[in-house]
Structure 1
């Protein structure tokens, strides 16, 4: 696996990009793409599309990864100056309890804070361990001298300001990567590494391929537009979910056979499996029961494509996540093998 992929993961996770506030990270990716020698197009929704011409232009492929992450917005300012939140994306409050965060005001200022249960202190609240973690009881303690709603408002903080979570990215000596937002910045880094490789090694793809960096996946409509009628196959590169009854692990590439939207294209899934077998790529077939991808969003939008979903195995998804370089390497190999392969008949 390329060390460049790890460096890009660390770089991308360092840039806040909750769904709805992704312009900064898109600009940074656009700069990387330009430095690699590619042109890119930003659609009206703010997604980034890079088209690489291949030998066959009549049949085309599209591959996506999303750069938007979970986050929150300021829901209200409490009388004591602390903030209530409204969540962006599908996760629970217990997944962010105790996490550091940043409040991004509409005027460009940022303030740090900590996400806490209102009844956190066991010296004061008998119910600290049992009280419901929800919008009513969870709040942000701002790192500013503010003890009233009016004092917080004078900081420039308003309802609707975005809140990002500290990623706390760490790469261990034995190859584990711990961070928030590995979903799906790992996949974006993988695509960037592949784009770098084909440019440097002057590899010609068998089919014209569109690399779609989407920015609305966490709320259900990323990657569902700008799909040419020439596109035959659509591959989403996203995370593989780990848990009870799941086959996915942190050391293989996960190939999704079904998620909450239904089964993925059977023939394309079999092609991906065969590529793993032929190239000795560790893989796992899996079902994600509470999951939707850019590919499933495209299908719901009416795209006439064969769709598939693969990705690195991510533990503790939508919380403080972890994967291993082995899983990333396996995903890189499958992405490359697929994009260099012939389409199924």
Structure 2
């Protein structure tokens, strides 16, 4: 079955809805409920782990050698490190992101006493007071503080508000959906990836698509802190494709258009055969694509492998300009990704041996070394 048409309006509405829900790592219950309800509305049965990672299985022709599509619902954020004597809050980041992009951010502080609004500011924020010192202040989390939009002139007044060390701080996304297809917002990593997966499921259900194996749609809740898909895979999953952001920047091949297929990240190469298949599907289905290598990046795939799961992994991405900052993407990439997911879900199983956890050489994969071996005078084995 070829790639399926994607409902762009549905994809955009899902992304808008996801961006409205604060979900920094550690504060994901609400977004988990939101995504779970949409999956159920689409006709899938939802199962949650103890902490709230989501698994929704769409049944195929068989259970063995299942495929997983994974994205993460958690985002960057911050946490209260200390209550300061000047009535402001010291912060530590949730996830890896620069305080350069935190300066000026509007936020919500979630405390047991209620939610408070606030702004992250540099320690020297007023040019009328500090003159040129505002430009020489170093960049870093030690050089910003959160101003609370409530009566908080000292530590005692912060205490009366009920704000405590460890409270979660969510950063406003402030999204803009432009008529030319560009989308600018914080937290497109990875709310956009979640919207892509939902749009792909929507297309599969709308077309009553039959897949050769079960498809496990997974949504993790702690990818931004490195945990990701460590504990959500079951033994019948043989391959896992992660959907996340690719970094569009000088020196990178990623693009805000089409699919960017990651060949490697900081943990090493992705599975040779699975990645090759995804490239071939792009070619066969005329989906624009490019390849890239990410040196300072890891995804749900890395956490799954490091946790000991013996699965083939790959990473397909939408190009993001200024990742983990003021992010920008284009709808063309989101649509292309969703199309590739539908094509992959319906594609034939090629490595039948993968249905077994362990097996002999028969049916084991080959990498294209036969010609090189012949040139070196080495006799290659016949196909098993």
Match of 1:61 in 2: 67
**1:244 Cα deviation after fit:** 1.8
Report the counterpart of residue 341 of structure 1 in structure 2. Answer: 347
1:116 aligns with 2:121: yes
| Alignment size in residue pairs | 344
Question: Which residue in 2 is equivalent to 1:188?
Answer: 194
Structure 1 residue 199: deviation in Å? 2.2
Q: How does 1:38-49 map to 2 (within 5 A)?
A: 38-49=44-55
Shift of 1:45: 2.6
Contact 2:53 2:232 in 1 (8 A): no
Checking the alignment, whether the CA contact within 8 Å between 1:271 and 1:344 is kept in structure 2 is no
Q: If you compute each CA radius of gyration, which structure gives the higher value, 1 or 2?
A: 2
- For the pair 1:289 / 2:295, whether they are aligned, the reply is yes
1:99-248 alignment runs, 5 A limit: 99-107=105-113, 109-125=114-130, 126-248=132-254
Matches of 2:56 and 2:138, distance apart in 1: 45
> Distance between the aligned counterparts of 2:274 and 2:203, measured in 1?
24
**Partners in 2 of 1:314 and 1:200 — Cα distance?**
29
For 1:11, which of 17, 32, 39 is the aligned residue?
Answer: 17
Distance in 2 (CA, whole Å) between partners of 1:187 and 1:137 is 32
Relative to structure 2, which stretch is displaced further, 307-316 or 220-229? 220-229
Stretch moving more, 262-271 or 128-137: 128-137
> Structure 1: which 5+ residue stretches go unaligned?
none
* Distance apart, 1:56 and its partner CA: 2.2
Task: Please report the TM-score for the alignment, with normalisation by the length of structure 2.
Answer: 0.88
Is the 8 Å Cα contact of residues 206 and 341 (structure 1) preserved in structure 2?
Answer: yes
Alignment of 1:256-295 (within 5 A): 256-295=262-301
Query: What secondary structure, in the 3-state scheme, does the structure 2 residue paired with 1:55 have?
Result: coil
- 1:190 deviates by 1.1
1:329 to partner: Cα distance: 1.2
Structure 1 stretches of at least 4 aligned residues deviating more than 6 Å after TM superposition: none
Give the alignment partner of residue 300 of structure 1, picking from 293, 296, 306: 306
Query: What per-residue deviation string (whole Å, max 9, x for no partner) do you get for residues 73-105 of structure 1?
Result: 011111111111011001110011111111011
Whole-angstrom CA distance in 2 between matches of 1:85 and 1:289: 28
Q: Are the counterparts in 2 of residues 268 and 344 from structure 1 also a CA contact under 8 Å?
A: no
Per the alignment, residue 334 of structure 2 pairs with 328
Structure 2: segments with no counterpart, 5+ residues: 1-5, 352-384
2:116–2:149 CA contact under 8 A, matched in 1: yes
Q: Aligned-pair distance for 1:256?
A: 0.4
How far apart in 2 are the matches of 1:264 and 1:344?
18
Q: After superposition, give the CA deviation of every residue in 1:265-317 in whole Å (9 maximum; x if it has no partner).
A: 01111111111111111111001111111011101111111100001111110
The answer to whether the 8 A contact 2:212-2:349 is kept is: no
- Are 2:298 and 1:253 aligned? no
1:37 paired with 2:35, answer no
| Equivalence for 1:94 | 100
CA-to-aligned-CA distance 1:93-119 (integer Å, 9 cap, x gap): 001111111101134x11111111011
**1:102-153: CA deviation from partner (whole Å, max 9, x where unpaired):** 101134x111111110111122223211211223220011111221111111
TM-score when normalising by structure 1: 0.97
Question: What CA RMSD, in Å, does the superposition of the two structures yield over aligned residues?
Answer: 1.1
Asked if 2 retains the 8 angstrom alpha-carbon contact of 1:117 and 1:139, the reply is yes
Q: Residues 103 and 164 of structure 1 are in contact (CA less than 8 Å); yes or no, is this contact kept in structure 2? A: yes
Q: For 1:226 and 1:150, how far apart are their aligned partners in 2?
A: 43
CA distance in 1, matches of 2:202, 2:319: 23
SS at match of 1:94: coil
